[in-house]
Each structure stands twice: as structure tokens, then as C-alpha cells.
Structure 1
Amino acid sequence: MSKSLRNALLALALPVFGACAVSPETAPPVPDPLKGTQWQLVDIQYMDDTVLKPDADGKYSLRFADDGSVSIKADCNMLGGSYTFTSPSGLEFGPLRSTMAFCGEKSLYDRFTKDMPFVRSFVIKDGKLHLALMADGGIYQFSPLP
């Protein structure tokens, strides 16, 4: 993981702790920046320096709907459920239902189903979406879909 990306993610964590001192009545509502967006996976970067990339464009994607639902394409399977955005950069997925086709041994489907419950925050930087796993587990990097 690049040092600048790691620093950006750490910088996002600081306002979360500072926000605890602001009462909900005085804090202006922050619109959900993910609503209505769609992204395709670029790579997954784990803290042990393992980097995994999809074997083809478009096989792995996220679509955040305006109603708080998320659709995930993970190779030959589709996952769906809800997500929760908390200002300024919190993100958690609710239970995700999934089709159960076998996509092949090189598929990242199993990674997605294992990692998505551990997403806790995100940052949109340089036009890319970065999902951070809890306990500094790793980063999923996505580029926008047209």
C-alpha cells in the first residue's frame, strides 16, 4: 500500500474521533457520496504486501443505489444487500445475500464474501474509491464505471 494512501486513510480516522464532541443537533448533515455511484475493482492490497488483481475488467464491481442498497458483482456471482454510510468516511455492509455458482479456482469471489463484512471506512481519492478493512487488514481499490 502506498504511503500516501495509508496517510490519507489515517487522516480520515482522526475526524471520526473528533466528531464525537459535536452534538448531533449542531452538526450539519453530510450527504452520502456513494449514493448513485458504481465502481469496478482495480486491485486488493493487503498489509503483508500481497496484491491481487482481477483477471479481466468488469468482473468485480460495486453499485451503490440511492435507497441504501448495494449490488456487488463478484466474478460469476451477484451479491446484494444494504450499506450504511456514517459521516465523514464510515462504511459498513449489512448482511449480503449471494448466488453460489463456482467461478473457478482463480476467482476472487471467496475474497469478496470473506472481506466485505470487515469494511469499515472509505476514501475517494484521485477519482478512485478505496475501501479499508478493519484492523488495517487491507484496501480494495476501485475505479469509476461509466
Structure 2
Amino acid sequence: MNKKIFIVAVFIVGIVFLLALLFPVPLVKNGEHAVGSPLNATYLIDEKPVTLVGGKAEVELVPGSATKLKVSNFGEPVYGDIDSDGDQDAVLLLVSDTGGSGTFYYATLAINVSGSYRGTDTILLGDRIAPQTYYFQGNKAVVNYADRPFGAPLTTRPSEGKSLYLQYDPSNFRLIKVAVDFEGEADPSRMTLDMTTWKWIRTVYNDGTIVTPQKPEAFSLTFRKDGTVSVKTDCNSMSGTYEVSGKNIEFKDMATTLMYCEGSQEQVFSTMLGKVQSFLFTSRGELVLELKFDSGLIIFR
């Protein structure tokens, strides 16, 4: 009987050893906070390390306290090669919430180090700002967002377009704000709706959802001085009128052709336009249509 038990035990140990060889557990470099995804890396927020797991984290503000700092990734990481080493780094927006009325947005980078991602520190964008586009431009990361005018109460809708240009110091993984020569950049105060045909770039919802056109050149808006607007999609064309009052805008009497196109995003796009409430321009030459109830932004360029 004991011999049978011994044989079974040896068999089980052998199976466990074989599984360990076939499916090894990947090692995480905790010392460097380097992992295989930007959504699982460690970042410094207000000089405190925050390790994301699947894009989320909870950190005790005070040991033993029930109040926790909740951090989550906004939207999706955008990839590019900021250090010209041939691999893909990432720029992200992180959102922190302590349970109060504030919702704070931070810009950060995840640097690809030999196939693993190491997070940098973060730069605060503001409380309840409106994120827009973020991307790589050469050896810089660019973060565009809308904020309130200086001194405006937090109840004011973000309407002032801002851009943050970032690099990082490879010796300590700290972010560096880059001073940019703005000669040739757009002046939002001089931009008008009818100055160009606007191409849809993306829509960013406040829950972090991002919708991009599958055919980027297919979707556009053309405003005319007589109050009419033409809309092109990946299927039908639309036309109608628009009314502007200050920074508020409303589309009216929209008519469309009736062709059917399999897989078209036309309905998604037209639904967005029906929810537009206001607009603003950015120094990047973008038109931003703000959705009702602060639910999101449609970005055109």
C-alpha cells in the first residue's frame, strides 16, 4: 500500500515539474518597475509609486486608512519611438480620484527597455480638464487638452485649448517639458468654422472610450458663411444648417442620401453630431466639438 502511495506521489511531482518547464511563470523586474505592457507598469504620481494592473490601481493615502487613491488609464496608450532606439514607447493619460469632487488628469510615458515597459513620473494637466489628442511627434510626445481660463471656477466648461510637449531624461526616467517655437502654429482666436474642410480624427468620451474612423479621409465637415453645412461619411453625404451662439453650436434640418453600405460608421458619426453642444479651437489647428452633458469631444483637423 505504501509503495503505491509513493509511486503516485512521484508521478504527481513529475507532472508538476513538467508543467513548470512547459509553462514558466514570467518574471517581473520589480526593481525597475519594468513589465510587458504600459498598462501594468509603475508610475510616479506626486512622487508616490503607483503600479497599474490592467490599467488600474488603488493606493492607500495613509496606512490603515479607508480612503484610497484610485488611478486608471484614460483611453488607450498611443505608441511611438520617442528615444529613436527602434522600439515602441507609449504616451498615456492617467486619471486619479480620491473619492471627492476632484478628478485629476496626468500625462506620462512608458519607455520600452529591451521589450519591457518602465514608467516615468507624471505631469499634472489639471482637475476635470477635457482630454483631446495625444501622440508622438518626432522625439517628443504631444498632449492636447482643453482647460478653463485662468481664474474661472471649476463649474466652467473647459474651453481653452492647450498643448504639452514632453521628452524624458533616460538617466532617471523623469519627464521634461519641452519649450516649443510656436511660429506657424494656429492662433485659436483667429480660427473660424468656415476656414477649411474639417476631417474627423477621433472622438474621446469621458469614460475613456475612444472612437476613430476606419477610413480617416472619408469623414468631414464643411461649414459655409451662409449657415449651411455639408457632411461626408464613408457611405452617404448629408447637408443641413447650423446655428452658432457664442461658443454653442447646433446642427439642424440634416438630410442624407439613402445608400446602404456594409460596415459603415455613418450612423455612429451622425449620432455624435446630433449630440454636439459647443465648440472650440486649439493651437494645433484643431476643431473640437463638445458633446452635451460633458460626455465627450469630437476632434477634427
TM-score using structure 2 length: 0.38
What is the letter of the counterpart of residue 115 of structure 1? M
More strand as a share of residues: 2
Q: Shift in Å at residue 57 of structure 1? A: 2.7
By relative contact order (CA 8 Å, sep 6+), the higher-ranking structure is 1
Q: Shift in Å at residue 36 of structure 1? A: 4.2
Match of 2:281 among 121, 124, 130: 124
Instruction: Give the number of the structure whose alpha-carbon radius of gyration is greater.
Output: 2
Q: Which runs of 5+ in 1 are unaligned?
A: 14-30
What is the letter of the counterpart of residue 41 of structure 1? W
Distance 1:94 1:54 in 2: 23
Alignment partner of 1:75 is 2:258 = no
Q: What SS does structure 2 have at the residue aligned with 1:101?
A: coil
Alignment CA distance shift 1:11-1:55 (3 Å): closer
Distance 1:113 1:128 in 2: 19
Q: Shift in Å at residue 103 of structure 1? A: 2.4
Map residues 9-20 of structure 1 onto 2, 5 A cutoff. Answer: 10-12=157-159
Counterpart in 2 of 1:46? 205
Tell whether the 8 Å contact from 1:35 to 1:68 is kept in structure 2 after alignment: no
More helix as a share of residues: 1
Of residues 90-99 and 108-117 in structure 1, the stretch that sits farther from structure 2 once superposed is 108-117
What is the letter of the counterpart of residue 216 of structure 2? D
Q: Shift in Å at residue 140 of structure 1? A: 0.7
Counterpart in 2 of 1:110? 267
Alignment partner of 1:140 is 2:298 = yes
Superposed CA offset, 1:17-51 (max 9, x none) = xxxxxxxxxxxxxx992134310010011122111
Counterpart in 2 of 1:20? none
Distance 1:51 1:76 in 2: 21
CA RMSD of aligned residues (A): 2.4
Counterpart in 2 of 1:24? none
Q: Which runs of 5+ in 2 are unaligned?
A: 1-129, 133-143, 149-155, 161-189
Superposed CA offset, 1:99-131 (max 9, x none) = 1222222x2211122221221101110200110
